[in-house]
Amino acid sequence: MQPILLKNGRIIDPVNGIDMVGNLLLHLAKCAQINPSSLPEGTREIDLTGKWVVPGLIDIHVHLREPGEEYKETIESGAQAAAAGGFTAVACMPNTKPVLDSAQMIEAVLSKAQKAACRVYPVGAISSHGQGSTLANMGEMFAAGAVAFTDDGLPVSDSQLMRRAMEYAGNYGVPIISHSEEIGLSRHGSMNEGPMSTRMGIIGIPHAAEEIMVYRDLALAELTGQHVHLAHISTKESVSLIRRAKANGCPVSAETAPHYFSLTEKAVGKYDTYAKMNPPLRMDYDVEAIKEGLQDGTLDVIASDHAPHSDLEKELEFDRAANGIIGLETSLSLALQLVRSNCIDEKKLVELMSSNPAKALGLPGGSLTVGNMADVTVIDPLRQYTYQRDEVVSRSKNSPFLGWNLTGKAVLTIVGGKVTYEDL
């Protein structure tokens, strides 16, 4: 593998306390040296003046749709979209068809991912078939390579089952990922509940549908002493609950998605099904609370919740359309807006999208420590572009950000010392 010297870039590595302009040598698939005095023969030198060199971005909430819905996305196409978005690793959710609820299914994903453009870490199901009634064989899935467990897409309504899942996962040192939704309150709902849903004649989903389950799973984490990771947080009160639990020592981490700090329920105002998701887009005050949670460390991770759907599933009446949007290719650009608005700084951005995701699921990566694998993302913070449908790498195109003028993007993605995406 050809050695690579990333020259004159701003190297930002919060884990090692590095923020400097310098040169990073990648050699033998490792981060070899910062500011080397000599270079191996045949080194490719890339001038990155004005760009940032950061640990490879990690997205721990992605739906790759394979097996079962390859017309929406495959492991290969999803990994290519990830690389284009600057991600060197993703964790894929188990609600495929069939569900990833056995060692054989975990092994099948890992086998398919061997030639993918990024590292793929499968997450196993908590319950058999994702039906929420009996525990899946978590031990076998962990041994096969599962890095966490969740029934994402659906909540685990049985509290005793959730408690046992946390206890079993704790035995293996991996977290339970909570899809926090009280289904009795959210059933039949299609958008945020409030005056706007009333005016539009659409059944709403109240904030409490999320907050009740956030509270329950925080209580179960305290009861069991085991790590729970709360997915796609969207409401002000959820942020407050997590903040209070962390202050009390609860073993919890939490994520939000770019759409929850970039959009409000107003985005669905013209019955735009590309803005339909679960949990739904919320209110202005929720967006501000999400930003505050990212600032003060209440929310640890920005994850895309990349959820591909075909046009057939989106171009329907609003209440019949599928939930979810793609996000791998826009997450970084939307998060960079937080930096430009002084909500967070560059170091915090890297923590939220690289080092903290690695820590939350116990994954390798998240730093440029010499000797670590050479997973690197290069960001041009000033690159301007329009996010256009015909340039989307993902197999699906369901994004409310199509047509947006965005600033800042990944221009070079390197996995294990190999370039997987380049747009210098």
Q: 35: how many CB neighbours lie within 10 A of its CB?
A: 10
Q: Do β-strands 376-386 and 405-415 pair in parallel, antiparallel, or remain unpaired? A: antiparallel
Say how far apart CA 3 and CA 26 lie, in whole Å. 6
User: Containing H/E element for 72?
Assistant: none
Handedness of CA 171, 172, 174, 176 (dihedral sign): negative
For residue 32, give every residue at least 6 positions away whose Cβ sits within 8 Å of its Cβ, in sequence order, or none: 3, 25, 26, 370, 374
Q: Which two tokens stand for residue 110?
A: 């890992």
Return the closest-CA partner of residue 357 out of 288, 234, 208, 257.
Answer: 257
Sheet strands (E) in 368-415:
376-386, 405-415
The strand pairing partners of 406, in sequence order, are 385
Q: 167: how many CB neighbours lie within 10 A of its CB?
A: 15
Return the closest-CA partner of residue 55 out of 382, 260, 361, 357.
Answer: 357
Q: Which residue of the set 305, 380, 390, 423 is catalytic?
A: 305
Residue 309 DSSP one-character state: -
Region of 46 on the Ramachandran plot (φ > 0 left; ψ -120 to 50 alpha; else beta): beta
Number of H helices, E strands in the chain: 14, 17
Helical residues (DSSP H) of 29-173, grouped into ranges: 75-84, 103-112, 138-144, 159-172
User: Containing H/E element for 198?
Assistant: helix 195-200
Catalytic site residue 305?
yes
Say how far apart CA 209 and CA 190 lie, in whole Å. 13
The strand pairing partners of 87, in sequence order, are 57
Say how far apart CA 349 and CA 336 lie, in whole Å. 8
Region of 342 on the Ramachandran plot (φ > 0 left; ψ -120 to 50 alpha; else beta): left
Distance of CA 115 to the CA centre of its chain: 21
Say how far apart CA 51 and CA 418 lie, in whole Å. 19
Q: Which residues are catalytic?
A: 305
